[in-house]
Copies of this chain bind each other. A is one copy, B any other.
Amino acid sequence: MKDITPRLISLLKRGYCTPQIGRIAKQLAEPATTIHYNVKKLEKEGAVKSYKAVFNYKKIDEGFCCYVLINLSPDEYGNPERISADLAKHPEIESIDICTGDWELVLKVRTKDQDAYYNFIKNVISRKGVTKIKTLTSLKQIKTESVTI
């Protein structure tokens, strides 16, 4: 039997959802057509990037979560966007920020477990350009993607 779940999760993680006009209308006590108009306006302005699902990541084999703080070598330092665009392709990486302060890059990474994380670090992060890494491991997620768990 074909297992649809992984492909389904992969799509829902980044998009393939849509706002519930009727439910919003009821909640805000406004006509559905008014909500529709305003939602479309937000989309047209480019204010909305995507509609997506937030998961209980333990239940989709992504229970291990951590922040990866990265220092870049002098030659990558001037162009962090190149390495970032490359990293962005990896589905394990939930977010990538180019930062000021002690660290140039901050990643949020989700893997199945510590073993999978170790492999991820070995294969993806350990590369020329990265001079120093610090990992902050999440013991418990209280809030994620604006959703309180």
Binding site for B on A (CB under 8 A): 4-5, 7-9, 11-20, 23-24, 27-28, 30, 34-35, 38-39, 42, 45-56, 59-60, 65-67, 69, 81, 84-85, 87-88, 91, 93-103, 106, 108, 134-149
Contacts and interface: CB of A to CB of B under 8 A. Distances in A.
Contact of A100 (B24, B97, B137, B144): B137
A28 B11 CA distance: 9
Contact of A18 (B18, B100, B135): B18
Contacts of A30: 4
A48 B54 contact: yes
Contact of A52 (B97, B98, B100, B147): B147
B13 A53 contact: no
B47 A56 contact: yes
A48 B12 CA distance: 10
Contact of A8 (B7, B28, B134, B136): B28
A47 to B, nearest CB: 4
B56 A53 contact: no
B16 A149 contact: no
A49 B56 contact: yes
26 contacts: A4-B28, A4-B34, A4-B35, A13-B146, A14-B147, A15-B147, A16-B19, A16-B23, A17-B18, A17-B52, A18-B19, A45-B59, A46-B59, A48-B53, A48-B56, A49-B149, A50-B147, A67-B97, A67-B99, A84-B143, A95-B141, A96-B142, A97-B139, A98-B140, A98-B142, A99-B139
